[in-house]
Structure 1
């Protein structure tokens, strides 16, 4: 009962409160309106809601702008990062491209240089081949694998013992001399006979002997470098081979030239075809240019060829094949018929009748017939006043005017003329007179490897 009364009292007190009256006046005008508490509360609540919504929207917008700024800054930072990365990558690509271009240009230059060098070496090889060909024509060859010549053969002495009448055969034209027998040291024509070591045909020309898995760009560059190096090394070898061949040709030719001049000078002959003096400071071969080597080799080969042509006209060959003894040598002796001192102007080769007689050098037949004590005789003019005579022949094969080569048969051994038996009388003549044919035969033996 008490609680009910209290609630009624509160309601009555609230009903007794006057409503909120709002008066708005402007000058003489005034207006008023009454606001009920409920409406005021609703209005206040609405205002609060509006203000709260505005504040919430403003806060949201501010937060959103902060997030956007942060996102933009982050994006800008990432953009800068990637742009820097891209710039570095581009710079790296440009660097690699530049290096590749530089390397390509370098290799192109190297290839061009190698091609040029190869062309020069090929041209050198061609010139060297020409010198080698001319040297071969002069009997001088360079071989890569040919063995050195073996020792020259020494055939045994041989003669036909069935012809006893030829064992003491001598002869020749009578040429008196004014000297005592004791002073001249004469050899008896029928007594002890001087023997000569065997003769042999010229040997073949001497020959000088000359005892050819990484991957990627870096791997390709290394492979190219290796290939370039190998090509360059091969070209070096080719160049050294050319220079070595020229040096060998020059040295071998000069040695043969010196040998020919040394041998011919001992005969009183001068075969110096150019007359050039020699001399100068010593310069090692390693510092000599290719052109100097080539000029030296060409000059030596040319001179050797000229000397060989000149030597071919000298009677260095043997008139008889095989080995034959002498029945009488060149020089003073007792004449076999008169038994008085006389000069024997040639060599008497003991040989059977009918043995072929060969020209000892190239020349022209100037006499072919019977001539006094020579009997049947052939004389060959070799030029420059050098001539040879072949006497006591049984038959003459050549005729006057014939051009004969070394080794060509001009007659047969016989016993005609002033002769005591079958043999060949062989003479060698210079403008100054007769000379010992044995000197030429010895010279021919020394030069056999050259001729």
Structure 2
């Protein structure tokens, strides 16, 4: 029955796949191999499945490569955008600080002018009071002189009558009367000059008051402008600080401890910015000076964050397309040794791909180590150490100082490895932690 079924199938398929014969000729005889329709169908199906599998695998590899490339380009763009933002913020900070200094200088100059005008106003007020006192004295003297003049005239008239009665002449008192008239004329002239000077001083006092009011209005406008500038600077510092704080906290690091370490190592000339200080003659600092100091402290914190970021392994150890093959934690041993702990992150890529230092540091090991193969260890600040294993070539020596992004070796397959990849570790205080914690924490910043 199976033979008949096979015959029917071959007869049906023969319409589309006629029977083929493959002849094999030797020196003594000729043989042939019969390829029935079923055999041809099986061979064609297998070939089609192999071609389909090749196309799918190629598509998957291309998608991984494109995804890794776009992710790297996006990271590079984000890093360039962040650096551009830091530079723009630094330039804006310097400009705002310079504007604040110039505004404070203008404010001090205005205060000096107000103080000078107030001193002149007080001096004019004292002089006005002295003039009023002098005028009162002159007026009382004038009244007394007028009374004495009237009395002198009355006495002169009486003396003239008496003289006329006795001698018939009244010229002996004429000199005295003329002296009194001259004295009265001088006093009247002095009184007029004093009144004019008083009017001039009152006008000067009114102009001084108007000038002082103009200066105070300019001072209030300047304070409003300064408040707007300070508000923009405070907002910019707050917005820029938040992602940095989150990045360090997401990586499991204490921002305050990092900043204290950076502050100790960078406290000399040319390090962090120093707050603005104004001479207050022992008095409390003005609100503007306090806000300016707070802004500069925020910018100082940002500068120290930038230093800490370069000394902390937030960068990727490769800049070529890679595939994350084995993560941190427990896994089945690739050599069949059971369930084991994996203390790093494996990144599979092309043989010879550049391996880069992920932070500034010092090379403490560069050579062969069991399990790791060709291994490089770098000691960073804050008790952090990074390891790069299974290299094909090491390009640094023990004691070398490296910066973030420096090439330290090439990706390979040395040591206990099943294929070309990089074994990347991060250790804090000697204890291994998940490297993806640092890589993911930096994605929103760099």
Report the structure, 1 or 2, having the larger helix content.
2
TM (norm. structure 2) is: 0.46
TM-score (norm 1): 0.46
Higher relative contact order (CA 8 A, sep 6+): 1
Say which one has the larger Rg: 1
